[in-house]
Amino acid sequence: MAIDHGTGNARRRYRYIDKFLNKAGPSTDPDFVPGAPTIATLEESKVLVIGAGGLGCEILKNLAMSGFKDIHVIDMDTIDVSNLNRQFLFRKDDVGKSKAEVAAACVTERCKDVKITPFNGKIQDKDEDFYMQFKIIICGLDSIEARRWINATLVSMVDMDNPESLKPLVDGGTEGFKGQARVILPTLTSCIECQLDMHAPRTAVPLCTLATIPRQPEHCIEWAKIIAWEEHRKGVVLDTDDPEHITWLYDQALNRAKEFTIPGVTYQLTQGVVKNIIPAIASTNAIVAAACCNEAFKLATTCNPNLANYMMYTGDDAIYTYTFEHEQKPDCPVCGNLAKTITVNPNHTLLQFIESLGERPEAQLKKPTLRTESTSLYFQSPPSLEEQTRPNLSKRLGELVADGEEIGVSDPAFTIDFKFKLVFES
């Protein structure tokens, strides 16, 4: 059936967008064809949105109002009552239901000419054929691990003989009053792994600090979660969604804070620490989602140049944005071809090195398996190989590898192998 590109009711909602699509501008791509062909391309562009939370709700709404007609959304989560203050597509009656399904139904109820296909599940459960069908992929995730997985998957899909295999990735992220949007062209521009050291893992608090000299309200809450719960409720599995469990932790943390004269322990903070909740501000979500959808619109229509390639936003003290081009790294384990150099202490044990891989901003690997070209250093699984390589954990790195030697590292959370060149400290 022919698409109606006339000025009737079908296009009235998009009349402001059509001003960009019906005529060329000073910055439009040389191949840009104004009018019906570009509008048809936009409407036929199949877009995948990953995440239907605070950022995802905004993205879905924006895409539907921007002329995209074939949208897919995937999210593994269900709606919690705590989501309702900022994830505006959900209502109280939706608590417990799939985020993707409810969000899709809510948007299509208001934009009846838009088709949104929901998927309730993990992105890791989909194969390359699933991702190959989309023209653009937009991430609204709150997980670094999930970002790294989709990034590696899209890079591995690229076939130089097939231009259609290159799927642009538009990634947005927020934390409180801060946020960023970035455009990634797999294998052509800096990827998420290239930029990993900009997202340093949160520093772990030593158990001795929690047990003896807490200094912050968060220390008291962690003490209640890790130490007090094990002492007083051993055998009971902590359910972070159970109000009774959270209240018990809050009471324990509050008493601990009073003992050490530490102010600031609240029920809300207890929830945030226990569930590792990243603070979310509705206005930040709206701004970053708008930036992401603006980039998707430009990618689909070539009506204006795309972001090259990173935009950061902060709104805590004042409104501030800054854009810059993040360069590809030749030693990126995903899109590069060189091993990443890591400086290590040869007197540290293999176990200490493995623990450091979880803390290093450029690695952030939680369950690494390590090997050299000639031998296996340590396997996390299967149990037989773990037992066989376990004695290496107590050996010094200087005994196991040579200065400047490359090792291969794999982690079950990722689809790729990492290469590191170990250089000994002088």
Active site residues: 208
Residue 9: partners with Cβ closer than 8 Å, 6 or more residues away: none
Angstrom distance (rounded) from CA 162 to CA 164: 5
Of the CA atoms within 13 Å of residue 373, those in its CB half-sphere come to: 6
Say which amino acid occupies 261.
Answer: T
Can you name the residues that pair with 324 across neighbouring β-strands? 310
Say which amino acid occupies 408.
Answer: G
In the numeric block, which tokens belong to residue 318?
Answer: 């004042």
The three-class DSSP label of residue 378 is: strand
Angstrom distance (rounded) from CA 270 to CA 223: 11
Angstrom distance (rounded) from CA 186 to CA 200: 22
The region, left, alpha or beta by phi > 0 then psi within -120 to 50, assigned to residue 120 is beta
Compute the chain's Rg from CA coordinates.
Answer: 25
Contact predicate 117/73, CB 8 Å:
yes
Residue 129: partners with Cβ closer than 8 Å, 6 or more residues away: none
**What spatial distance separates the first Cα and last Cα of the chain, rounded to whole Å?**
71
Contact predicate 377/389, CB 8 Å:
yes
Residue 404: partners with Cβ closer than 8 Å, 6 or more residues away: 421, 422, 423
In the numeric block, which tokens belong to residue 82?
Answer: 């705590």
Residue with tokens 């990735």: 169
Helix extents (H) in 99-143? 99-110, 128-132
The three-class DSSP label of residue 124 is: helix
Compute how many other C-beta atoms are within 10 angstroms of the C-beta atom of residue 81. 12
In the numeric block, which tokens belong to residue 334?
Answer: 């995903």
Can you name the residues that pair with 122 across neighbouring β-strands? none
